[in-house]
Structure 1
Amino acid sequence: MGNPRERDAPEVTGQEGLRAALDDVMEQRGAWPGRAPWVRAAVAAMPRHDFAPDRLWRWTGRAYVPIDRGSAFEEWTAEVYGSPDAAAVTEIRGGVPSSSLSAQGVVVDMLDALRLESGQRVLELGTGTGWNAALLARRAGSVVSVEVGAGLAAAAAGRLKRAGADVDVRVADGAAGWSAGAPYDRVIATYAVDSVPWAWVEQTRPGGRIVLPWGRLGHVALTVAGDGRSASGWVQGLATFMPARGTDLGRDFQQVREAAPYADERPFTRDLTPLRDDWHLRFALRVAVSDVQITTAEDEDGLNAWLHDGSTSWAMLAAVGDGTTVAYQGGPRRLADEVERGWDGWLTEGRPELYDYGLTVTSDQQYAWCRDAETGPRWPGV
């Protein structure tokens, strides 16, 4: 990875060279948080490669293949330090990733959003490799990290000890938090949830902050109300994290299409380009039709999209080569229609950015909102 300022810069190789190149890319992007300089210092003190297992996994376009430190060190290092946006897959189950060393850019962004003060008590949900916990330990007064996988927890605890990071690693289901150490000043999750466990709010002091990846797209920072009866806050940025272990991911598009009969077709008159390129629209649809997964790809006929709900319904927005698109739909729902309604709602609201959205959680409900938690439009149950 070369310096983006030097078009003809030589290729960077070696662990320290790749590490420095990643640091430089983040510098050029302005991705190092100015209000939290401790984060960059922590990343420098706790290198990613010290927390990566000996075997990583690379996607070839067809399957995940192993990359071993011992036999392919340069390739292994490139997986660790490839890009601010790339996670290094550390575990495969059933042919799909189940754990990773999260992308450095996203880790840094979420630590910035945590607003961690020196000496505060932190609960981390999802120890993983231990790297995020090690970064937290450079700033916090105490860190409790919960990991549901006993093997992952033991390996992470060993890495943390070797790195000199004081972290209390516990084997437990993160959905229940860790009440023995409550209340915490800050809570941070390293895996995605659609519904925020109320235990996380209960175990955070009033005024405390909770940062988590929310569903398939985006991470949020919630502040616990003074009476402890709710937590609310804004979307902070884009993030794609693995879900909690054991989460039912549902069927993929092909499985849903095979199970749900074809129902109808109609012209789809709007340009699909924003559906592919506009992440503010993508996030708005994530809120408006929260269970619908959207994939786009271009072929010789034009831009296409595949929609499914992981269960019973599907739609295919297919370019037919003459500048038009046809919506084919199957199952009891009409997903193309639902996406269009969500798209229209976003346009009616004036194309809000993803940062205009927020989330509120109480003991018995959760809802998203736009622009204002009290008076803005709401989407309950997302």
Structure 2
Amino acid sequence: MNDNLEGHRRRAMEAMDVHRAWPEDAAWVRDAVEALPRQGFAPDRLWDWDGHAYVPVDRGTDPYGWARLVYAGPYDAAITEITHARPSSSLSCTSVVASMLDALDIEPGHHVLELGTGTGWNAALLAHRVGPTGHVTSVEAAPDLAAGARATLTRAGLGDTVMVVVGDGAHGHHDTAPFDRAIATYAVDHVPWAWIRQLRPGGGLVFPWGRLGHFAVTVAADGRSATGWLQGLAQFMPARDTAPIPEFDEVRADRSADHEDLLARDITPLHTDRDLLWALRVAVPDVVYATDTDEDGVNAWIHDGARSWAVLTTLPDGRVRAGQGGPRRLVDELGAAWDAWDGDGRVRRWDHGITITAEEQFVWAGDPETGPRWTVSAPAGVTNG
């Protein structure tokens, strides 16, 4: 078993090299991952998709399968918890963990706030960096996960550096504020103002936004705002109190299209162009889509999580058949957003940023003052301050 684990671990580290996924300017990240390997923070039961459902893979009965999931690859998370047949917690993929830690720009001695402890691996990597003169406060909503992470961190010799508390991550942790840095391990559509308020002026926050990408922002000298740039793309799990997004079939519910048309647009970029995917996510934030290919080209399944849906099918002659139903015309909305992106010069994803204040939040392109901007709406009942 140990040989099997070591082989998987070694291949995973080599894959990070091949994909150039280690941060060039933060060698400490690799050192931390070497010193605190994932296997020490993975629970004895992981979950694997068998093509129909998530099935348990236990370390005791299937050690090779378990090791394969722990070290699946640089871009693969290990699912550690299933709730209502869907993943609700994971050991994040190494490439994304490395990217976010690099973006956080932490130094020895820093006081760091982590939102979402999970298994405790990310908190351990933070503790490795801040060292004995620093401190990590990690907030976890699930008491059982918090207890498990606390025990694992203690076994790793980091119990004095990391304090795991049970609570709602949206509130941060006022009792141990202010912090030099803060990092969220779950996605938010709207950043809780408490995260900014509990940072020192000049402090930094890294967070996944909208389950697609992560931003790094810096708090202004007066503490009244934070702004920064997109750092990378990846899918993240939402906060635990976020309602799960329905599947396409649930939204369509076997209804026939009430509007059909033929499009001249090539929809291949929906499957291949990450800059376009990001632009559409920003412009039409509540629309979800999946793509796949067949012998004729790309097909797409689109929905708004409520009542509206659309199917785009590439035909042998290159045209696209668009069928849609529900109160919204999602093909038209996406087409308008796509045209606007074309008209703005196809702004790259890396040229987008976000500004956060107590009163408003908005994503912008190019320049926070003069560039195009899109308001980030707060959930109903949520107020800042």
| Range of TM-score over shorter length | over 0.9
Secondary structure of 1:303 counterpart: strand
Query: Which residue of 1 is the match for residue 106 of structure 2?
Result: 116
- TM-score (structure 1 length as normaliser): 0.94
Query: Which residue of 1 is the match for residue 176 of structure 2?
Result: 181
CA contact (8 A) 1:264 1:330 kept: yes
Query: Which residue of 2 is the match for residue 366 of structure 1?
Result: 361
Q: Does 1:328 align with 2:323?
A: yes
Say if 1:172 and 1:259 are closer, same or farther in 2 by CA, change over 3 A.
farther
Query: Which residue of 1 is the match for residue 76 of structure 2?
Result: 86
Q: How is 1:213-252 mapped onto 2 (pairs within 5 angstroms)?
A: 213-252=208-247
Q: Does 1:154 align with 2:147?
A: yes
Q: In structure 1, how many angstroms separate the alpha carbons of the residues matched to 2:355 and 2:51?
A: 38
Q: In structure 2, how many angstroms separate the alpha carbons of the residues matched to 1:256 and 1:184?
A: 42
Q: In structure 2, how many angstroms separate the alpha carbons of the residues matched to 1:32 and 1:259?
A: 46
Secondary structure of 2:341 counterpart: helix
1:148 maps to a residue whose letter is A
**Match among 127, 136, 145 for residue 143 of structure 1:** 136
Query: Which residue of 2 is the match for residue 10 of structure 1?
Result: none
Say if 1:183 and 1:193 are closer, same or farther in 2 by CA, change over 3 A.
same
1:93 maps to a residue whose letter is T
Secondary structure of 1:236 counterpart: strand
Q: Does 1:164 align with 2:157?
A: yes
User: Unaligned stretches of 5+ in structure 1?
Assistant: 1-12
Q: How many percent identity over aligned positions? A: 56
CA contact (8 A) 1:136 1:143 kept: yes
Q: Does 1:41 align with 2:24?
A: no
Q: Give the deviation of 1:310 after TM superposition.
A: 0.4
Q: In structure 1, how many angstroms separate the alpha carbons of the residues matched to 2:299 and 2:109?
A: 51
Q: How is 1:55-70 mapped onto 2 (pairs within 5 angstroms)?
A: 55-70=45-60
Query: Which residue of 2 is the match for residue 32 of structure 1?
Result: 22
Q: In structure 2, how many angstroms separate the alpha carbons of the residues matched to 1:23 and 1:301?
A: 38
CA contact (8 A) 1:266 1:326 kept: yes
CA contact (8 A) 2:189 2:376 kept: no
CA contact (8 A) 2:291 2:301 kept: yes
Query: Which residue of 2 is the match for residue 21 of structure 1?
Result: 11
Q: In structure 2, how many angstroms separate the alpha carbons of the residues matched to 1:86 and 1:251?
A: 23
Q: In structure 1, how many angstroms separate the alpha carbons of the residues matched to 2:225 and 2:108?
A: 25
Q: Give the deviation of 1:58 after TM superposition.
A: 0.5
Q: In structure 2, how many angstroms separate the alpha carbons of the residues matched to 1:31 and 1:180?
A: 36
Q: Give the deviation of 1:352 after TM superposition.
A: 1.6
1:188 maps to a residue whose letter is I
User: Unaligned stretches of 5+ in structure 2?
Assistant: 378-385
CA contact (8 A) 2:225 2:355 kept: yes
> What is the aligned length?
370
**Match among 61, 64, 71 for residue 61 of structure 2:** 71
1:152 maps to a residue whose letter is L
Query: Which residue of 2 is the match for residue 8 of structure 1?
Result: none
Query: Which residue of 1 is the match for residue 115 of structure 2?
Result: 125
2:238 maps to a residue whose letter is P
- TM-score (structure 2 length as normaliser): 0.93
Q: Give the deviation of 1:254 after TM superposition.
A: 1.4
1:194 maps to a residue whose letter is D
Query: Which residue of 2 is the match for residue 5 of structure 1?
Result: none
Q: In structure 2, how many angstroms separate the alpha carbons of the residues matched to 1:135 and 1:340?
A: 43
Query: Which residue of 2 is the match for residue 378 of structure 1?
Result: 373
Q: Give the deviation of 1:323 after TM superposition.
A: 2.5
Q: Give the deviation of 1:104 after TM superposition.
A: 0.5
Q: Give the deviation of 1:28 after TM superposition.
A: 2.3
Query: Which residue of 2 is the match for residue 357 of structure 1?
Result: 352
Secondary structure of 2:253 counterpart: helix
2:98 maps to a residue whose letter is V
CA contact (8 A) 1:249 1:310 kept: no
Query: Which residue of 2 is the match for residue 52 of structure 1?
Result: 42
* Range with bigger deviation, 192-201 or 339-348: 339-348
1:150 maps to a residue whose letter is P
Q: Give the deviation of 1:260 after TM superposition.
A: 7.0
